[in-house]
């Protein structure tokens, strides 16, 4: 019998009992709450907010966000396990990776204290779903080729430009 590409020794960082328990729980969540619904999500082109909220209840949103902001206080290993299980279970279209591994860490690293307290608890609970608008007509996702501008006008910013393919855009409220 030929081995699967997935039949490889676990990386040293994966040889941790707490991470194994977490991985099993994440896999069960995707299997029970997501896999049966993926065909409908593909048809509708959207993952319902209820799933985001269930993922938040399970501690899958903001797994590496500090507890003081509503996260689970884990680290990138937890995010890697979520990504791994999502792909192993074939749950596509659920932008949890963007939400967890790109946007939340930016807010943790670069947000003001007020922004962290305002946005991170909702990001971690699933009340807020994040989006990212990078892709532009003519530039693709080449961030150096972006034409959109944000110019300060008093206490506000005036944004001028256009975006396409906004990841999580159909669900996002942040």
pTM, two decimal places: 0.86
Q: Could you tell me the domains of the chain?
A: 12-130 (1.10.540.10), 131-174 (no CATH)
What's the mean pLDDT in 29-56? 97
The predicted pLDDT at position 5 comes to: 64
Cβ count near 129 (within 10 Å): 25
Closest C-alpha among 81, 48, 85 to residue 64: 81
**pLDDT confidence of 114, banded at 50, 70, 90?**
very high
CA-CA distance, 38 to 41, in Å (whole number)?
A: 5
Residue % of the chain over a pLDDT of 70: 95
CB 116 within 8 A of CB 65: no
What's the mean pLDDT in 38-47? 95
Q: Strand, helix or coil at 146?
A: coil
Compute the mean pLDDT over every residue in the chain, rounded to the nearest whole number. Answer: 92
Q: Model confidence over 49-64: pLDDT tens digits?
A: 999 999 999 999 999 9
Cβ count near 157 (within 10 Å): 10
**pLDDT confidence of 43, banded at 50, 70, 90?**
very high
The predicted pLDDT at position 1 comes to: 53
Q: Model confidence over 135-162: pLDDT tens digits?
A: 898 888 888 888 999 999 999 999 999 9
Could you tell me which residues come within 8 angstroms of residue 141 by beta carbon, excluding any fewer than 6 positions away? 134, 135
Query: Which of the pair, 25 or 133, is modelled with greater confidence?
Result: 25
3-state SS of 22-90 is HHHHHHHHHHHHHHHHHHHHHHHCCCCHHHHHHHHHCCCCCCCCCHHHCCCCCCHHHHHHHHHHHHHCC
């Amino acid at each position: 019998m030929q081995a699967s590409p997935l039949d490889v020794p676990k990386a040293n960082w994966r040889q941790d009992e707490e991470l194994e328990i977490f991985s099993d729980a994440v896999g069960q969540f995707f299997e029970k709450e997501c896999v049966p619904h993926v065909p409908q999500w593909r048809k509708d082109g959207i993952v319902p907010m209820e799933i985001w909220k269930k993922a938040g209840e399970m501690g899958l949103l903001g797994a590496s966000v500090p507890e003081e902001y509503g996260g689970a206080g884990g680290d990138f290993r937890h995010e890697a396990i979520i990504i791994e299980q999502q792909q192993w279970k074939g749950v596509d279209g659920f932008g949890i990776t963007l939400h967890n591994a790109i946007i939340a860490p930016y807010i943790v690293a670069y947000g003001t204290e007020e922004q962290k307290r305002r946005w991170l608890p909702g990001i971690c609970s699933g009340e807020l779903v994040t989006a990212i608008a990078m892709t532009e007509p003519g530039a693709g996702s080449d961030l150096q080729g972006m034409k959109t501008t944000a110019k300060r006008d008093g206490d506000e910013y005036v944004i001028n430009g256009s975006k396409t393919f906004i990841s999580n855009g159909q669900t996002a409220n942040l």
